[in-house]
Amino acid sequence: MSAKVVPPAPWPVEPWAIREPHLDLEELARTESVFALSNGHLGLRGNLDEGEPRGISGTYVNGFHESFPLEYGESGYGFAEDGQSLVDVQDGKVIHLMLEDEPVDVLRGEVLAHERVLDFKTGTLDRAMHYRSTYGREVKITTRRLVSFTQRSTAAILYEIEAVSGPMRIALQSNLMANVPAQSGTKDPRKGKDLGDVLEPRLARGFELRAVLAHTTRNSKMTCAAGMEHVILSDASNLHTAIYVEDDLGRATLSCQIKPGRPFRFVKFMAYHWSSRQSPEFLRDQVTASLANATAEGWEGLLRDQRTFLDRFWEKADIELEGDEAVQQALRFSLFHLLQAGARIEGRAIAAKGLTGPGYDGHAFWDTETFVLPWMTYVMPEVVRHALLWRHSILPQARERAHMLGMGGATMPWRTIHGEECSGYWPAGSAALHVNGDVADAVRRYIDATHDDAFAAAEGGELLVETARLWISAGTYDHAGNFRIDGVTGPDEYSALVDNNVFTNLGAQSNLRAAADTAARLPELVETMEITDDEIAAWRKASDAMYLPYDERLGVHPQDQGFLLHDPWDFGGTPADCYPLLLNYPYFQLYRRQVLKQADLVLGIHLHGDQFTPEQKRRDFDYYEGLTVRDSSLSACTQAIVAAEVGHLDLAYDYLREAAFVDLHDLHHNTSDGLHIASLAGAVLGITNGFGGMRDSGGRLRFSPRLPTDVPSIRFAVTVRGARLRVSVDQERARYELETGDELTFEHWGEEVRVVNGTPLERPTPAVEDLPRPKQPPGREPARRDG
Amino acid sequence: MSAKVVPPAPWPVEPWAIREPHLDLEELARTESVFALSNGHLGLRGNLDEGEPRGISGTYVNGFHESFPLEYGESGYGFAEDGQSLVDVQDGKVIHLMLEDEPVDVLRGEVLAHERVLDFKTGTLDRAMHYRSTYGREVKITTRRLVSFTQRSTAAILYEIEAVSGPMRIALQSNLMANVPAQSGTKDPRKGKDLGDVLEPRLARGFELRAVLAHTTRNSKMTCAAGMEHVILSDASNLHTAIYVEDDLGRATLSCQIKPGRPFRFVKFMAYHWSSRQSPEFLRDQVTASLANATAEGWEGLLRDQRTFLDRFWEKADIELEGDEAVQQALRFSLFHLLQAGARIEGRAIAAKGLTGPGYDGHAFWDTETFVLPWMTYVMPEVVRHALLWRHSILPQARERAHMLGMGGATMPWRTIHGEECSGYWPAGSAALHVNGDVADAVRRYIDATHDDAFAAAEGGELLVETARLWISAGTYDHAGNFRIDGVTGPDEYSALVDNNVFTNLGAQSNLRAAADTAARLPELVETMEITDDEIAAWRKASDAMYLPYDERLGVHPQDQGFLLHDPWDFGGTPADCYPLLLNYPYFQLYRRQVLKQADLVLGIHLHGDQFTPEQKRRDFDYYEGLTVRDSSLSACTQAIVAAEVGHLDLAYDYLREAAFVDLHDLHHNTSDGLHIASLAGAVLGITNGFGGMRDSGGRLRFSPRLPTDVPSIRFAVTVRGARLRVSVDQERARYELETGDELTFEHWGEEVRVVNGTPLERPTPAVEDLPRPKQPPGREPARRDG
C-alpha cells in the first residue's frame, strides 16, 4: 500500500477538455483553480457566475499587488522588509439572477443538472445548469466565459437563460465588485496573506450598460481600473435596464420576461488596466477603449480569434502519448494552463500559481526558470523572452540586494512580484543563491535555442554577466584550489545554509561558462558591461575549478559537502499522516538529517548531466531515491526524467503519472490555492526530457528516446531557431521530421544527425535494460499503475 | 590605535563606591542602570526622584511579565509562539516637589550641586542636590534609597529637604504610578518590546498616608500589588497631608513650611507582591503587611540590616587587586551588582540584565549558568541552589519543548522568563542545545562544591538526567563510531546550525558523564527517574565517544566541523564603524566566514580544559584570537582567562580590564538598557580563574596562580563545603588560608595540597613565560594600558 495512492480520477477521460459532470460544492475551491482562465495578464478563477457559494474568489492582473511590512520575532540586518501580495481586483465575474422573487442560489434551489467544461481548443469555460427554485420555477442557464489571448485586457461572458417551467420575470444583476472577501467560509491561514480591504476607491462611473471603477492599493499605490459593458443579443420582452455605481460596486440590471423556447442572451465584456503612474481617469479611458474594441469585435469575433490562437498553439505544443488516455488528458491540461500562465505576460513574471489562485501570495520563484522555461523555450520562445525581460527589469533591485548582502553583481530574489526580496525566512531569501544559476541557465537555453543575439548582447548578456559577477564574489578558492560556495540553501527545502550544494555549484559553473562564452562572442556586451579580459579569465577559472564534492566511500555525490555525515531520517518511525514533514517536524530536525523534500542533486543530474558519468548518475539516483519524500510538487517530474535516463523506465512512468496528476488529483492538497504551474511543466518535461531523452546543456540538442513497455508511442515537437522538429518515438525507433524550417542538427543517442525539411529521419532506439527498482522511503513510493 | 579605546573613566576612583560628582543629563539612561538597586526580587532603576527627566523608568519584580504572540514573516513548525517581556510595574520612586509655585525640575531651575553615590557597603543610592529655582528659591535635597536585602518585598527612600534661601512653603507629592511610559524621549526599538499599557487596574485604595494599587497584565494575567506608606521624621510647620488614589495613581501629598536650618524629613516605604493565582485583595493584604513590618523596623532598622548583610557578603566575596585602583573599583562594582542580581531570587531566574533595565526583555539566557554561577557557587551557593531550582521548575516546559523538537529528555529555552522558549529566531531557539550542557555544568559544579546530596538526588539529578537524555536523542554514532551532534548553534552567534560545535560537544560529554556518575552514586535518583543500567552505559559510551573534531593540517580544533573550510572574514576591508558586525552585515555572510562574535572554542578550553593538551590550548587560543571581534560582552572575560593560562599574561590583563569596564565605560553602547550581569561575573572570573588559575572541572578544585608584572598581588576567597579558603597571590608565591571550616584539599599547579584551619600554606608560583602576543583582527585589539 502506498501513501500516495492516486484517487479515482474525478474527471471523465477525454482528449481535449476537462469536464465536471455535476456540481460538487465540497470541491469548489479546487475546481475554481482547475477551471481558472488566464492569458498571463488577466486571470479569473473558475467561480460560479452567482459569486456564491465560492471557495476562493479571484480576479488577478499580473503584477498588481499590495505591499506590507514583514514582521519578525527577532529581526536582523538584511532581512526582507516588505512583503508583496497579489491583489484580488475588481470582480466582474458575478451575475446574480432572480426568478420573480427567488434568487438563484445552488444552496437553496434544486440543481437538476450541472456541467462545466474547460475546453482546450476553444479556450472557454462552459457551464450548463438546469435549476429549479423552491417554488418550482425551472430555468436552464448556459454561460461561456473566456479570457482573450488576443485582447489581453479583455474577458467576456456569454450568458443565456431559458425558462423551462413557464414564463417568468427575471432580474439579472451583472456586477463589478471591489473588496469582496476572497472566501465566503472560514479562513485558512495557509492560503496567503489576508490583507483586508486593500482597494481604496478612486473613481466610479456608470453610463447606459457600462460601468467603470478605479481603485488604488493602500500601501503600494497601484491603481487598477476595471470596466464592464453589456450587449444584449436577443429580443427581450418588457426589458428594463439600469446602471448603478457606488465606490465598490458597479451594477447593470436587466429585468425582462422570459418564456420557454425563447432564451434570453447577452454578453458581458470586461476590461482591466493598471498602472503605478497613470491616474484613475487615464486608466478609465483605457478601459473604456478596450471595452469599445471588444464590443466592436463582438463575442463571435473574440471566440474565433481565441480558437485560431489555440490552433496555432497546439500545432507547436501538443504532446501525444499512447497507452493511457488519462495521462494524455492531464498532459493537455498541463499544456493549456502553461499557455494560460505565460501567453501575454509582456514583461511581467510567471508566478508559481500563474493567475489561478492566491497561493504563495502570487510570487514568482526559481521554478519558473527551471521547469516552465525549459519547456517553453521550444514552444513559445517569444514568451520566454518576455519572462527573461522581467528578470532583466528587476536587475536594479537584484543589484541592490547583492550589495546589501555583501556581494557583487546581482542576486535574484527568492520570491517576489515586483523584484524586491519578499521572503520572511532569510535562509531562503538571502542564501538560496541557486536562483541566479537557474535564471542564467534559462537565458543560456533561450539564446542557444533562438540565436537571439540582440537579446544576448543586451538584456540576456547583462543577466549572465551580473550573475557571473555574483558567483565570483560569493565563492572562494580553498587551499587545494577548489572554488567553493559556502553557506547556501539549495533547492531541497529540507536542508539550508550548507557548504557546496552540488546543484548550486553546477548552476554557478554553467553560469560562469555561459557568461564567459557570451562575452567572448559579443563585443557590444563587453563594452556595455565593462568586462575586462581578467574578468572573463576569472569566470573561466572559477568554472573550471568549481568544487563538486564526491564521497569515495559511498560512491555518491553528497547533496552538499556535509550531507552524507548526517543521520538518515527515521522513515520507519514516521507515521503516514506526518507528511508533508515540514508541517509536522521542525527545520531543526529536518536540516540535520538525510531527508529530501525534493530531488536536489537529481535535478543537477537532469540539467547538468555532462558533469556526471553514467555510473555516477545511476548510483546517485538510487541513493537519493531512498531519501526523497516528495513533499514538494517539483520532485516527481525530475525523478521521472532521471529515472528514465538511468534505466528505471517503469518507475519513471509512475513518477510521470504522479507529476501529471498533481493538480487534477490534488495530490498535494492545496490545488485550491492555485495550480502548480512548474509541476505542470515538469510533467511535460517528463515526456520530452524523460521518455524523449531530450537535453540541451552545453549548447548541444540531444535526444535519447526510450519508452516504458506500457507506452507504445509518444509524439511531440520542438521549435529551434524557427525550425519545428516533430519527434515520434515508438518501442523500436524514433522518427524526426522537420515541419518548418530548412534543416536541424542534433544528436540521437550520441550520434550527430541532421534532418532536412521533407526528409524525415528514422533511427532505432536502443533497448534499455530496466534495472531493479531502487527503494523509496517506506510509504513514499509513487503510486503504481494497475496491473 | 584600537577601535575599543577605553574612554576616560567617568567615575572618580574610590574603593567602595561609584560616585557621580555632577548631573549629566545626556547620560541619564546609563547612570540609571549603573545606579540601579535590586535584591534579585525587586529592582528599581536609578531614576531621579522627580521621575523626569529620565532615560528609561523601571521598577521590576522578578518573573512578572507580559506575554504576546511572536510574529513571523514565514512561520514554521515548532517556532516559538509567544514572547514574554518583563513589565515595568507600579513606580513608587517618584516624589515631586513644589517650592511655593515652582516645581523642582532640573531642566528648568539651576542645579548648583548634584552628587549621586552608590555605596557598596551601605547598599544605598544617595543623592544630594543643591537647587535654585528660576525665582531664586534655594533648597538642598538629600535622598537615600535602598532595596532591602533582608525584607525582599521592600524598598525605602529617606527624603530630606532644607530651605537655603529663606522660608518657603513646599508641597511634596509622593506617587505610586502605573502605566507610565518607560521613556520620556523618543523610542529606540532596540530597548525591548514596547507593550503599551499592559497593566489593567484592579484595585486602588488610600488611607492616611498609605496607598495600595493592584494591576493585572492583559495577556499573561499576572497581578502585582504595590503599596507605599510614609513616616514623617521631623516636626513640620503647618503640615497638611492628603492621600488620593485613582486607577493608575496613588498620591500622598505633604505640604508644609520649611526654613533654613530646619530640614524636613520623611521616609517612604514601598512594598510589592505579585502572583498568577492570588486575588488583588489577597495581594493587597500582603503589601499592607510588608509595609507594616517595614514601618515597624523603621528606616534605621532597614539601613542597619542592609549594612550587616553586606558586611557578611564582602567577607566572602571581596576581591582585592593591587596595581590599578580603577580596576579594583570596577571589580567591587561587579560584585555588588552580582549580589543585587541574585540575593533574593528564591526560585526565579537571574536575567541577563538582572533587574537593572528592560534589555533583552528581561530574559534569562545560558550565560547565567556559564558566567554568573561559576563565581556564585564559591560565594553564595545557597543562591545558586535557587537559580538551579528555577531551572528545575521549568523542566515541564523544557520536556515539552524537547518533545516538540523530536528529542527525548528536556531542552532548556534559549531565552525566557517563565520557561517557554521565547526566541523568535529558531537557529537560536531550537538549535542552541549547548544551554543544556551549561545548565548541567552548573549543577555539577554546585554539587561538587557543596556536596548537597539532597539536591543531587532530587532536583539537581533530574536536571542532569533529563539533559543527558536529550543528548542521547540529539546525537548519533557515525560509521567510525564517533558520537556526533549535528545541526546545532554554539555560543558564538556569528555561526549557526553547524555540525559538531566543539563547545557543545564538550558540554554534552561532561553532562553525560555527570549524569552517569550521579546516578551511579544515588540510588534514589535511579528510582525516581527510572534509569536503567543500559541507560547509564549509553551515557558513558556516548561521553567516551564524543566527537571533538581536530584539524591536523592547521593543528587546531575547528570551532565546528566545517568551520576551518570557510574563508576568513575580510577584516582589512571592514571599517571601524561597521562593528558590531551583526548590525552591519547579514547573517548570511557572517555564518559562512571564519569570524567570531565571542570566544566559543576558547570558552570550551576554559570550562573543559582537561580535553586539551597545553600545546593545543596555545595553538587554539592564538588561532581564534585572529578571528574574534568581541562584539559580545561575554568574550573579553573568557579571553582573559585563557590568555592567562596559555601564557599571555599581559594580554590577559588588557582583556580583564575591558571586561571590568564593560558597563562602567559602556563599552557596548547599551548599558542604558541594563547592566551585563554575566560580563560583570566574567570580570570577577578573570581574577579567580584567570590570574588565580582556578578550575573545577572533573571534580578537582585547582589553582595555578600567575600574575602579570603590573599586578603586585591579588586576594580572593572561595567557599567550598562550608570551608572558606582565602587565596593570596603575589609575584612569587601563593598563600592559602582557611578562614572557616577544618580542612580543604585542592591542587596548586598540579600538586595536591591540604590546608587545615590555623595553618596557612604557602607555595611558590612558577615563573610563567609571557609569550609573544597573538594578532587580533585589525582594530579589534583590546585597549592597552598606558605605558
d(CA A609, nearest CA chain B) in Å: 27
pLDDT category of residue A353 using cuts at 50, 70 and 90? very high
Mean pLDDT, rounded, for B3-8 = 41
3-state secondary structure of A279: coil
Q: Does A484 touch chain B (CB under 8 A)?
A: yes
A404: chain B residues, CB-CB within 8 Å:
586
B413-445 burial code (b ≥16 CB/10 A, e <16): bbbbbbbbbbbbbbbbbbbbbbbbbbbbbbbbb
Mean pLDDT, rounded, for B636-641 = 98
A553: chain B residues, CB-CB within 8 Å:
479
**Whether residue A274 has pLDDT greater than 80:** yes
Cβ neighbours of B322 (radius 10 Å)? 15
Q: Could you tell me which chain B residue has the CA closest to the CA of A486?
A: B592
Yes or no, beta carbons of A497 and B497 under 8 Å apart? yes
B-facing residues of A in 69-128 (CB < 8 A) are 70-74, 76-80, 83
Cβ neighbours of A473 (radius 10 Å)? 14
Yes or no, beta carbons of B586 and A74 under 8 Å apart? no
Q: Please confirm, yes or no, whether A493 is among the known catalytic residues.
A: yes
Mean pLDDT, rounded, for A246-271 = 97
For the record, the C-alpha cell of B332 comes out as 567591587
Q: Does A408 touch chain B (CB under 8 A)?
A: no
Task: Pinpoint the alpha helices (H) of A565-648.
Answer: 587-591, 601-607, 614-625, 636-646
The span from the CA of A424 to the CA of A75, in Å, is 10
- Among B425, B592, B594, B597, which would you mutate to test the A interface (most chain A Cβ atoms within 10 Å of its Cβ)? B592
B473: chain A residues, CB-CB within 8 Å:
none
Q: Is B123 left (phi over 0), alpha (psi -120 to 50) or beta?
A: left
A487: chain B residues, CB-CB within 8 Å:
566, 588-589, 591-592
The predicted pLDDT at position B193 comes to: 63
Counting one residue from chain A and one from chain B, the pairs whose CB atoms sit within 8 A come to 137
Could you report the per-residue pLDDT of B650-667, keeping only the tens digit for each?
999 999 999 999 999 999
Of the candidates B76, B405, B425, the beta carbon closest to that of A74 is on B425
The span from the CA of B88 to the CA of B197, in Å, is 10
Q: Could you tell me which chain B residue has the CA closest to the CA of A565?
A: B478
Least confident of A157-171, A298-312, B175-189, B515-529: B175-189
pLDDT category of residue B786 using cuts at 50, 70 and 90? low
**Whether residue B8 has pLDDT greater than 50:** no
Cβ neighbours of B76 (radius 10 Å)? 16
Cα three-residue angle A188-A193-A199, rounded to 5 degrees: 120
pLDDT category of residue A769 using cuts at 50, 70 and 90? confident
Could you report the per-residue pLDDT of B418-431, keeping only the tens digit for each?
999 999 999 999 99
Q: Could you tell me which chain A residue has the CA closest to the CA of B553?
A: A479
Least confident of A183-187, B634-638, B689-693: A183-187
Yes or no, beta carbons of B565 and A486 under 8 Å apart? yes
Of the candidates B406, B499, B588, the beta carbon closest to that of A565 is on B499
The span from the CA of B305 to the CA of B515, in Å, is 41
Q: Does A586 touch chain B (CB under 8 A)?
A: yes
Yes or no, beta carbons of A79 and B73 under 8 Å apart? yes
Q: B787 versus A301: which is more confidently predicted? A: A301
The predicted pLDDT at position A190 comes to: 43
**Whether residue B462 has pLDDT greater than 80:** yes
B487: chain A residues, CB-CB within 8 Å:
566, 588-589, 591-592
- Among B67, B74, B584, which would you mutate to test the A interface (most chain A Cβ atoms within 10 Å of its Cβ)? B74
A78: chain B residues, CB-CB within 8 Å:
585-588
**Whether residue A778 has pLDDT greater than 60:** yes
Mean pLDDT of chain B: 95
Yes or no, beta carbons of B487 and A425 under 8 Å apart? no
B-facing residues of A in 354-393 (CB < 8 A) are none
Nearest 5°: phi and psi at B458?
-120, -105
**Whether residue A6 has pLDDT greater than 80:** no
Could you report the per-residue pLDDT of B363-407, keeping only the tens digit for each?
999 999 999 999 999 999 999 999 999 999 999 999 999 999 999
- Residues 6+ away with beta carbon under 8 Å from A297: A151, A305
Contact B507, B440 (CB under 8 A): yes
Could you report the per-residue pLDDT of B429-440, keeping only the tens digit for each?
999 999 999 999
Mean pLDDT, rounded, for B457-472 = 98
Provide the whole-model pTM: 0.94
Cα three-residue angle A617-A623-A624, rounded to 5 degrees: 90
Q: CA A211, A212, A217, A218: dihedral to nearest 10 degrees?
A: -70
pLDDT category of residue B10 using cuts at 50, 70 and 90? confident
Q: B785 versus A302: which is more confidently predicted? A: A302
Could you report the per-residue pLDDT of B83-107, keeping only the tens digit for each?
999 999 999 999 999 999 999 999 9
**DSSP at A167:** -
**Whether residue B474 has pLDDT greater than 80:** yes
Yes or no, beta carbons of A487 and B74 under 8 Å apart? no
pLDDT category of residue B1 using cuts at 50, 70 and 90? very low
A565: chain B residues, CB-CB within 8 Å:
478, 484, 486, 499, 561
For the record, the C-alpha cell of A411 comes out as 542576486
The predicted pLDDT at position B195 comes to: 77
**Whether residue A191 has pLDDT greater than 90:** no
Yes or no, beta carbons of B78 and A585 under 8 Å apart? yes
Mean pLDDT, rounded, for B630-640 = 97
Could you report the per-residue pLDDT of A595-648, keeping only the tens digit for each?
999 999 999 999 999 999 999 999 999 999 999 999 999 999 999 999 999 999
The predicted pLDDT at position B769 comes to: 77
Catalytic residues of B: 493
> H/E element holding B459?
helix B459-474
Yes or no, beta carbons of B486 and A592 under 8 Å apart? yes
First-to-last alpha carbon distance for chain B, in angstroms, is 14
Yes or no, beta carbons of A586 and B406 under 8 Å apart? yes
- % pLDDT > 70, chain B: 97
**Whether residue B291 has pLDDT greater than 80:** yes
Q: Could you tell me which chain B residue has the CA closest to the CA of A80?
A: B73
Mean pLDDT, rounded, for B711-735 = 97
Yes or no, beta carbons of B77 and A583 under 8 Å apart? yes
Mean pLDDT, rounded, for A410-417 = 98
Yes or no, beta carbons of A77 and B567 under 8 Å apart? no
Point out the catalytic residue in the list A462, A493, A535, A781: A493
Nearest 5°: phi and psi at A693?
60, 30
Peptide bond preceding B53: is omega within 30 degrees of 0, i.e. cis?
yes
pLDDT category of residue B785 using cuts at 50, 70 and 90? confident
**Whether residue B587 has pLDDT greater than 90:** yes
A588: chain B residues, CB-CB within 8 Å:
78, 405-406, 426, 430-431, 487
Mean pLDDT, rounded, for A472-496 = 97
The predicted pLDDT at position B113 comes to: 97
Could you report the per-residue pLDDT of A526-569, keeping only the tens digit for each?
999 999 999 999 999 999 999 999 999 999 999 999 999 999 99
**Whether residue B192 has pLDDT greater than 60:** no
